[in-house]
Amino acid sequence: MSELTLVRHPAVTEAPPARRVLIGLAFATLALFVFAPLAVVFAEALAKGAGAALQSLASPDARAAIRLTLTVAAIAVPVNAAFGIAAAWFLTKFDFPGKAFLITLIDLPFSVSPVVAGLCLVLLFGANATLGGWLVASGHPVIFALPGIVLATLFVTFPFVARELIPVMVEQGRAEEEAALTLGAGGWRVFRTVTLPNIRWALLYGVLLANARAMGEFGAVAVVSGKIRGQTATMPITIEMMYNEYLSVSAFSLAACLSALALLTLLVKTLLERLHARRTQG
């Protein structure tokens, strides 16, 4: 292929100075809002040296918080993925009226404040409510306990996987699955050998986003957790408690762990996108 440099007529693009100003503005915006906050998290965590940061992460409170956050994500993310796959299958493989309404309901958690989500759970499962009172009496409290934190996390991450899968499965259509069925494959086999290979990258991306949100959720969890140190305080809740106690290095060290997770999520996302672009070109 010959390397042709297309020089666009000035009337169909912006003049070079205008371009430079726009690119400069884009960099300035992200420097102010993205790069600076990230840098300050790591700088504050390491303010008293790496040793102090690591020591604060080994404290009982921090370790309990990390364990709880991993537990919550280990429950909420797979459940969310299973729901996302089922919802995407139901919405893309079958025809029925009211599809748009169902999608709106699945997207609902996006437009509800996390704090209001937590409030809803308290009103349903709190000790004052009928259902909640009965659950507390039978020794299975939801609010101020692990089940409440998991439910709050499920609420805020609810649409993530389904939203990534639905467009991909609409684009794929049903022909490949139908061919496999004609050839005598059973339902699970069709899903495993035909559908799953087609949707695996979208699934991975959805799971990644759900995981980042699950580990980082604050508002909804803050309402239902009760913030019992060492028991119901997740990593973000512990960050808040340490910050309010002026334990700056401890708070920012935990924050640095979650920032690293966010960066890893973005890195994998960028790699997945590049992979996808190469596939569609090649």
Partner 1 sequence: MREPLIHSSPMPGLGLSMGITLTMLSLVVLAPIGALVAQGAVMGPEALWAAVSRPRVLAALGLSFRLAFFAATVNLVLGTLLAWVLARYRFAGRRLLDAAVDLPFALPTAVAGIALTALYAPSGPFGAVAAGFGAKIAYTQGGIFLALMFVGLPFVARSVQPVIEEIEREVEEASATLGASRLTTLTRVIWPMLMPAALTGFALALARAVGEYGSVIFIAGNIPMRTEIAPLLIVIELEEFDYKGAAAIGLAMLAISFAMLLAINLVQIWSRRRIGDV
Q: How far is the CB of 271 from partner 1 (least distance, A)?
A: 10
Is 223 near partner 1 (CB under 8 A)? yes
Tokens read off for 251: 């708070």
Contact status: 277 vs partner 1 (CB under 8 A): no
Shortest distance in whole angstroms from residue 282 CB to partner 1: 19
Determine contact, residues 45/256, Cβ cutoff 8 Å: yes
Site for partner 1 contains 247 (CB under 8 A): no
Binding residue for partner 1, selected from 61, 176, 269, 272, defined by CB under 8 A: 269
Closest C-alpha to 194, from 207, 173, 177: 177
CB burial readout 251-280, b (16+ within 10 A) else e: bbbbbbbbbebeeebeeeeeeeeeeeeeee
The residue within the footprint of partner 1, chosen from 50, 178, 193, 277 (CB under 8 A), is 178
Instruction: State yes or no: residue 166 binds partner 1 (CB under 8 A).
Output: no
Residue from the set 46, 66, 75, 112 that interacts with partner 1 by CB under 8 A: 112
Size of residue set near partner 1 by CB under 8 A: 99
CB 81 within 8 A of CB 206: yes
From 62, 222, 233, 249, residue interacting with partner 1 (rule: CB under 8 A): 222
Binding to partner 1 by residue 230, rule CB under 8 A?
Answer: no
Query: Which residue has 């998290």 as its token pair?
Result: 41
Residue 192 sits in the site that holds partner 1 (CB under 8 A): no
Query: x-or-dash pattern for partner 1, window 35-74, by CB under 8 A?
Result: xxxx-xx--x------------------------------
For residues 69 to 108, the per-residue mask of contacts with partner 1, x marking binding by CB under 8 A and - elsewhere, is: ----------x--xx--xx-xxx-xxxxx----x--xx-x
Check if the beta carbon of residue 221 is closer than 8 Å to that of residue 118.
yes
Site string for partner 1, 122-161 (x = CB under 8 A): xxx-x-xx---------------------x--xx--x---
- Judged by CB under 8 A, which of 4, 11, 100, 183 binds partner 1? 11
Q: Of 232 and 265, which CB lies nearer to partner 1 in the complex structure?
A: 265
**Whole-angstrom distance, CA of residue 253 vs CA of residue 238:** 11
Amino acid at 32: L
Question: CB-based contacts of 64: which residues, under 8 Å, 6+ apart?
Answer: 229, 230, 231, 233
